Amino acid sequence: MFRPRAARWFEVLVAQDDVAAALEALARTGAIELEVHAERTTAEPLGELKPLLDTYAEVAQRDGYYWPKPAGAPARSGVARDVLVDGLRRLKAWHAAAAPLIEELQALEQENRELAVWQELLARLHSSSLELGLLRRPDGILARRLYVFPPEVVFPLPPEVMAQRLVCQNQACVIVLGPPEAVAQLDRQATALKGRRSGLGIPNWLEGRPADNQPRVAARKEEVTAAIGKQRAALDQLSEEHELPRVLAEIERLRWFATEVRAMAGTDYFAWLSGWTDDFDGKRLKAALAAASVRALLRFPEPPLNMVAPLVLTNPWWAKPFELFARAIGVPSQAEVDPSPLLAVIVPLLFGFMFGDVGHGLVFVLIGLALKKRFAMARLFIAGGASATVFGFLFGSIFTREDLIPALWLHPMSEPLTTLGVPLLAGAVLLALGLALAGVEAYWRGELTRWLEIEAGMLVLYLGALLGLVHAEFFWLATLGAGWYVIGHAFYERKLSALFGGLGEAIEHGFQLVVNTLSFARVGAFALAHAGLSSAIVALADAAGTGVTAMIIMVVGNLVVIVLEGLVVSIQTTRLVLFEFFIRFLRGEGRAFRPLSAPRSTLQGDSHEKPA
């Protein structure tokens, strides 16, 4: 639990026809990281299919917006090339049948967008007496346009044209009447300013005043919407006839495989998939291959020489969220302590002491419970909130008030020295623990002798100094530790001159320990600040009386405390862990285990941009 575990090497011998299906099945376990066996012949997987996959990408760019989502388990039968060739053939046949439907659908969608513009435009002109019929009557003298621009665009107009500017559909709409030459020039300017000329132009159904045309627009919009629905239903039916959901799932899996697997060992008939897994007993991998019905043989040999195994943090569920802190520096190596189980105790205690309030703690617990399924980090709120709730009972504080429940221990403002002293003592214990963990790591590296000869002296020096502050006679232990550290350098290096280097390091490290210890005073300081701010909020509410104003002050004040202090306390907790505790023993020199992601497209479908 406290030591990372090396991932296990696995190899799968699989028939070439089944290699993509086998890899997909393994990837869905979330338990493999691919790595090619260096001693085997390697080749680019599915390299001969690259031209076909490029063709598919071009087709997807053109038609993908109108395709259904890939669905269903991709079929395993057939050689990869045959699967892709057959899929492209079906997509080509689908396009031939769907092209007229798509063309009509695009026209209907464009008209629907234009009708929405006219619908809002007419609503804004509702009370106007403008005779719209004049806009659509061709007379050979005046040209008529409706331009639509992004809202921030300023469209300059020459003096020889008449124009009406309006905002509709969150866009700038400009109706223009003027000489054909001037309007033609405006057409070119509109394109340059990323605007567009209305595809409907001036509709031929315009007649009378704006209010008279609103029912006509609404009726035509209903007709167009219904027609769009029919076209989409026809496309869906066509997709089912050509089995597009299954075909797309098959092709997307091949594309995912060719993208994720850069090289692979194999022959004309078999392929080797190899890499690392955190499924140490192999049960999940075996079950996945069996469920996929692929022809494959799974084995777990010794890893190849000169390959560095990724490391897996094997923590119980309650410590998993706290791996976030160690990963902020890097994955601990096999000779480093994984502090996550310790942090499951340390972090909530630090957070709770600084934020001791029953009500605020319960709010954080509820936030964590609400968000834990979406954000793994939200589980930290649950632990921190629970600790804050416990300290709230100890401090007698609930939603900033200290007169509702008795303090089971103390009120921070009443005993500030104790409030500051307890975190200092706890911080000293934590730093001593960090020094001791460095000794554990030295033992794992086979360097325990050196640690005992030198670094152990610094631990003795620190403990002696702490005990000496309580009873002065213990300062001899600190002196012993300092001598141990300095003489240990000279003994280890077999040079008398190393005494001076050891003395310099002893002074430097001792000073660092003093500074790091004093840093934990901020825990008590924030507890006092929290209590002080709470008192100020209560005082303001009491001064306002017992009415609605007092209630508003309490609610707003508590919200400010929860948001502002919650952020500050979280930052301070992280800082104390990373920069005071971790620097004693954690370097994060391990290689992270990065599981291969399963193809998302076969689960949710790809999103394609709508063609312009």
pLDDT at 586 over 80: yes
CA–CA dist 311, 330 (Å, integer) = 11
Least confident of 124-138, 211-225, 554-568: 124-138
Q: Do residues 577 and 326 make contact, with C-beta atoms less than 8 angstroms apart? A: no
Mean pLDDT of 75-81: 62
Higher pLDDT among residues 3 and 81, named by residue: 3
From the list 87, 470, 353, the residue with the least C-alpha distance to 244 is 87
Both tokens of residue 230? 């029919």
Taking the domains of the chain in order of start, what are their residue ranges? 7-43+261-308, 46-121+210-260, 130-208, 320-584
pLDDT digits (tens, 9 = 90+) for 114-165: 787 777 777 777 766 666 665 655 555 567 677 888 877 777 888 777 777 7
**What average pLDDT does the segment 175-181 reach?**
77
Chain position carrying tokens 């629970």: 386
Do the beta carbons of residue 282 and residue 10 sit within 8 Å? yes
d(CA 398, CA 358): 5
- The 10s digit of each residue's pLDDT in 404-432 is 999 999 999 999 999 999 999 999 999 99
Return the CA Rg of the chain.
36
Neighbouring residues of 361: CB distance < 8 A, sequence distance ≥ 6: 352, 355, 384, 385, 386, 387, 388, 389, 390, 391, 392
Distance CA 142, CA 160 (A): 11
The confidence band for 267, taking pLDDT boundaries of 50, 70 and 90, is low
- Mean pLDDT over 555-572 rounds to 93
pLDDT score at 183? 78
In whole angstroms, what is the distance from residue 509 CA to residue 516 CA?
A: 10
Q: With left for phi above 0 and alpha for psi between -120 and 50, is residue 591 left, alpha or beta?
A: beta
How far is 88 from 85, CA to CA, in rounded Å?
5
Pick from 406, 397, 434, 429: nearest CA to 528: 397
CB 424 within 8 A of CB 521: yes
Q: Rounded to an integer, what distance in angstroms lies between the CA atom of residue 156 and that of residue 186? A: 9
The predicted structure's pLDDT at residue 606: 46
CA-nearest of 604, 601, 612 to 56 is 601
DSSP annotation string for 108-174? HHHHHHHHHHHHHHHHHTTT----THHHH---SS-EEEEEEE-TT------TTSEEEEEEETTEEEE
Mean pLDDT value of segment 78-102: 87
Burial class (CB in 10 A: 0-12, 13-18, 19+), 271: buried
Instruction: Give the per-residue pLDDT at 563.
Output: 93
Collapsing DSSP states into helix, strand and coil, what is residue 42?
strand
Structure tokens that stand for 128 in this block: 């106007």
Give the fold, CATH level 3, of 130-208.
Alpha-Beta Plaits (3.30.70)
Share of the chain above pLDDT 90, in %: 51
pLDDT band at 538 (very low <50, low <70, confident <90, very high): very high
Q: Name the residue type at position 477.
A: L
Condensed to tens digits (0 to 9), the pLDDT of residues 330-372 reads 999 999 999 999 999 999 999 999 999 999 999 999 999 999 8
- For the chain, the average pLDDT equals 86
Count of CA atoms in the C-beta half-sphere (13 A) of 133: 4
pLDDT tens digits for range 306-320? 889 999 999 999 999
Q: How many CB atoms lie within 10 A of CB 234?
A: 16
Flag whether pLDDT at 532 surpasses 90: yes
Q: Per-residue confidence at 38, pLDDT binned at 50, 70, 90? A: low
The span from the CA of 522 to the CA of 574, in Å, is 13
Looking at the chain, how many residues does it have? Answer: 612
Residue 607 has pLDDT above 50, yes or no: no
| Token pair in block for residue 51 | 């031209």
φ, ψ dihedrals at 272, nearest 5°? -110, 120
Q: Do domains 7-43+261-308 and 130-208 have the same CATH topology?
A: yes
Model-level pTM? 0.71
Residue 500 to residue 486: CA distance in whole angstroms: 8
pLDDT-derived band at 324 (thresholds 50, 70, 90) equals very high
Q: Are 526 and 569 spatial neighbours (Cβ–Cβ below 8 Å)? A: yes
C-beta of residue 336 within 8 angstroms of C-beta of residue 590: yes
- Would you call 457 exposed, middle or buried from its count of C-beta atoms within 10 A (0-12, 13-18, 19+)? buried
**Are the CB atoms for 217 and 115 separated by under 8 Å?**
yes
Give residue 127's pLDDT: 67
Pick the CATH number of 7-43+261-308 from 3.90.1150.10, 3.30.70.120, 3.40.50.720, 3.10.450.710: 3.30.70.120
Contacts of 115 (CB under 8 A, 6+ apart): 200, 217, 220, 221, 224
Distances (CA, A) of 500 to 31, 375, 383, 485, 503: 52, 52, 47, 11, 5
Q: Give the per-residue pLDDT at 233.
A: 93
Residue 176: pLDDT band (50, 70, 90) is: confident
Q: How confident is the model at residue 605 (pLDDT cuts 50, 70, 90)?
A: very low
pLDDT digits (tens, 9 = 90+) for 458-477: 999 999 998 888 888 888 99
pLDDT of residue 203: 67
pLDDT at 205 over 80: no
User: Among positive and negative, which fits the CA dihedral 230, 232, 233, 234?
Assistant: positive
CB atoms within 10 A of CB 558: 19
pLDDT of residue 604: 37
CA distances from 90 to 74, 255, 400, 518, 602 (A): 15, 17, 68, 72, 18
CA 384 to chain CA centroid, Å, is 21
3-state secondary structure of 101: helix
Residue 502 has pLDDT above 80, yes or no: yes
